[in-house]
Amino acid sequence: MKIFKAALLLIVMMSANNAVAVKLLEFTDEGPVVAFYLGKDLTGYIKTKQCDSCKVTTYKITPDVKAVLDGKEVPLSDFILSGHKPVGVHFSTETRKMTRIVWFSKH
């Protein structure tokens, strides 16, 4: 039994030495959208609020933001035509700029 425990301890120690660091590339805000505007020039904003007592967070939309409808990337202009509010916004962890807006055609 001592040999088994020693072997198990050795395997665990070797695994710890070979651990891989994971770098987070994006973060997401899926808070309820309280206000949303996207103009024909593809600029605008999204305002979310996580709870009743939480502060409203405003995110800037620029023309280079990607749009994802029902899991597929589409032109950002399609977002204007959909008439739906976004359900999630994604951001680069490095630049803190919005990278994607996600919405679904059916709720």
Q: What is the pLDDT of residues 85-97, one digit of tens each?
A: 787 788 887 887 8
Domain extents in the chain? 25-103
pLDDT for 9 equals 46
Predicted local distance difference test score (pLDDT) of residue 19: 57
pTM above 0.85, yes or no: no
CB atoms within 10 A of CB 97: 12
Residue 7 pLDDT: 46
Which are the contacts of 86, defined by CB distance < 8 A and separation ≥ 6? 33, 36, 46, 79, 101, 102, 103
Residue 43: band (very low, low, confident or very high) from pLDDT cuts 50, 70, 90 = very high
CB 42 within 8 A of CB 61: yes
End-to-end CA distance of the chain: 57
Task: Tell me the torsion sign for CA atoms 9, 13, 14, 15.
Answer: positive
Question: pLDDT class for 63, splitting at 50, 70, 90?
Answer: very high
State the average pLDDT for the chain: 76
Region 5-24 average pLDDT: 54
CB 71 within 8 A of CB 105: no
pLDDT at 14: 56
Phi-psi region of 19 (alpha: psi -120 to 50; beta: other; left: phi over 0): beta
Q: How far apart are CA 65 and CA 52, in angstroms?
A: 28
